[in-house]
Amino acid sequence: MENRQKENRIITDGLSYRYPEAERDAVSDVALRVRAGEFVCILGHNGSGKSTLAKLFNALYVPTEGTVWVCGMDTKDDELVFDIRQNAGMVFQNPDNQIVATVVEEDVAFGLENNGVPPQEIRVRIDEALAAVGMSERAKKAPHMLSGGQKQRVAIAGVLAMRPSVIILDESTAMLDPSGRAEVMNTVRRLNREEGISIVLITHFMTEAAQADMIYVMDGGKIAMTGTPREVFSQIGRVRALGLDVPPMTALAETLGKAGLPVRPDVLTVEEMVEEVCRLQSKG
């Protein structure tokens, strides 16, 4: 168990959750894991249970059945709640509704203040966190003067200052414009690569999902598909049947394939498509 915990940030086993007075489970018998340093993406149409799952990772909800371990801590254990929340930080969808303070740096300090971190230490950590998301210059600004992408970066900094093992982004890019989305995705990818923080990204954007190490597709509270982006998206028919889409280049690969051109079905990006076309050419 000790070893499993070291390499896994989140493990769920037979995880189910039913909202009070609901008729069926919002999350049903889910088993998944998020390894140290792994970038996991959870896809699924609205109402498929993604957001409920995210809230189970952070002990905001406690499983009706089954278990969630965050860094080896069972989220059902009341005494560990704050340790779990410190380890599994969450960034939510609406940038306006998760910033508490009237000054950027104070918002970043919020979680640390809650955990009773000494003021000198808070200072050091918020400076680090703001630098890591590229918002140092705006430390004294009022949140409502920032763009959506900047607000989400502040929210990420607030989580980062807690020194988490895993950051869960619950549709955090959904309300942003393309440049805001790019800001957030670049920040998240860098934290993942350079700081080794595990990422759980919940999104509707397939191009974002394509950047993950592992994708879980949810449907009706259950995990319907699992695999690397290539494995998942190359099954275009199934993905679409689950109310989702595939990256444009994967769709194009399908078109070419149907027309008789032997293109790999798991092309994800423009670069790969170019390579693929050139490869075919040099072969033919």
Partner 1 sequence: MLNDITLGQYYPGNSPVHRMDPRCKLLLTVAYIVGVFLIGNLPGYLLALAFLWLVVRVSGIRFSYLLRGLKPLRFILVFTFILNVAFTQGQTVLFAVGFFRLTREALENAIYFSLRLVFLVMGTSVLTLTTSPVQLTDALEHLMHPLARFGFPAHELAMMMTIALRFIPTLLEEADKIQKAQMARGADFESGNLMARARAMIPLLVPLFVSSFRRANDLAMAMEARCYRGGEHRTRLRELRYTRLDFYALLCMIAFFVLIIAEGMLLG
Partner 2 sequence: MPIAVEGVSYVYMAGSPYETKALDNVNLTIEDGEFVALIGHTGSGKSTLVQHLNGLLSPTSGRVLVDGQDLAQKGTDKRAVRFRVGLVFQYPENQLFEETVEKDIAFGPKNLGLAQEEISRRVKDAMRRVALSYDELSQRSVFELSGGQMRRVAIAGVLAMEPKVLVLDEPCAGLDPHGREEILGLIRRLHAESGTTIVMVSHSMDDVANLAERVIVMDHGTVAMDGTPREVFSRGDRLREMGLDVPQAVELAEALRARGIPVPQGAYLPGEVARAILAFAGKGEEPC
**Rule CB under 8 A: which residues touch partner 2?**
45-47, 93, 147-148, 174-175, 177-180, 204, 206, 243-245, 247-249, 251-252, 255-256, 259, 261, 270-271, 273-274, 277-278, 280-282, 284
Q: Which is nearer to partner 1, 28 or 172 (CB)?
A: 172
- Contacts of residue 196, defined as CB under 8 A and 6 or more positions apart, other chains included, come to 36, 37
Q: Which is nearer to partner 2, 20 or 260 (CB)?
A: 260
Residue 190 CA to residue 3 CA, distance in Å, equals: 26
The item of partner 2, partner 1, none sharing an interface with residue 117, based on CB under 5 to 8 Å by kind, is partner 1
The item of partner 2, partner 1, none sharing an interface with residue 270, based on CB under 5 to 8 Å by kind, is partner 2
The item of partner 2, partner 1, none sharing an interface with residue 45, based on CB under 5 to 8 Å by kind, is partner 2
Residue 155-194 contact track with partner 1, rule CB under 8 A, x = bound: ---xx--x--------------------------------
The item of partner 1, partner 2, none sharing an interface with residue 142, based on CB under 5 to 8 Å by kind, is partner 1
Q: Shortest Cβ distance from residue 98 to partner 1 (Å)?
A: 4
Sheet with 65-70, strands from edge to edge, namely 27-35, 8-17, 65-70, 73-74
Count residues near partner 1 (CB under 8 A). 40
Q: Shortest Cβ distance from residue 240 to partner 1 (Å)?
A: 31
Site for partner 1, residues 41 to 100, rule: CB under 8 A: 55, 58, 60, 82, 85-86, 89-90, 92, 94, 96-100
Footprint of partner 1 (CB under 8 A): 55, 58, 60, 82, 85-86, 89-90, 92, 94, 96-103, 105-106, 109-119, 122-123, 126, 142-144, 158-159, 162
